[in-house]
Homo-oligomer: A and B are copies of this chain.
Amino acid sequence: MSTSAPHQTRPGGRSARVRASVHRAVEELLGENRSEPLTVPAIAARAGVHPTTVYRRWPSLGDLLSAVAASRFSGDVVVPDTGTLRGDLERWVTDVAVDLADPDVLALMRATVGTAGPEGGCACVADRHAQLAAMLERESARGGDPPPVERAADSLLGPLYYRALFTVHPAEPGWARGLVSALLG
């Protein structure tokens, strides 16, 4: 057999264009903070796509939001490589803090967590967890003794996301850096 699975999905051309358009429409509509709730027809209209398409491709609004969040929060922050764990973490938390300061990002995260349930929350932070684990792993390979991933997540991602979701987020510059000091001593 040349290719065992003939082609169950069709990821190129118009499909990809529609998906990107719908994703962008979701981000845009969530960005402009409207009082009305987010609905599929509104998304389709903004995307220039028929509502039927959205209903058929994504089983529910929660799945759509999860997909948008996973796509948006993957690859938006690159894992730095400064040579030391402290340097990597300091640069990384700063980048994450900058990303979390964007109102559009916050709106997307709120909607995803509120609509898609626990899976939505995981979709928002899965890539961040992987990045953090990669940096700690590298430090371990370098011969260092990094803290476990759970503790690092508690000390870094915890305050970052807590402030983003539950406070008005003043976010003084340099504050995120202090989290690294609190973790590494």
Interface residues in chain A, defined as those with a beta carbon under 8 Å from any beta carbon in chain B? 33, 35, 37, 60-61, 106, 110-115, 117-118, 121-122, 124-125, 151, 153-155, 157-163, 165-168, 179, 182
Contact = CB atoms under 8 A, between A and B. Distances in A.
A113 B113 contact: yes
The quantity of this chain's copies bound in the complex is 2
Nearest to A162: B158
A168 B110 contact: no
Contacts of A161: 158, 162, 165-166
Contact of A167 (B106, B121, B151): B121
A154 B165 contact: no
Interface majority SS (helix, strand, loop, mixed), chain A: helix
Contact of A111 (B114, B121, B153, B158): B114
B166 A155 contact: no
A41 to B, nearest CB: 14
Contact of A163 (B35, B61, B158, B165): B158
A37 B115 contact: yes
User: Most chain-B CB neighbours within 10 Å: which of A60, A125, A159, A179?
Assistant: A159
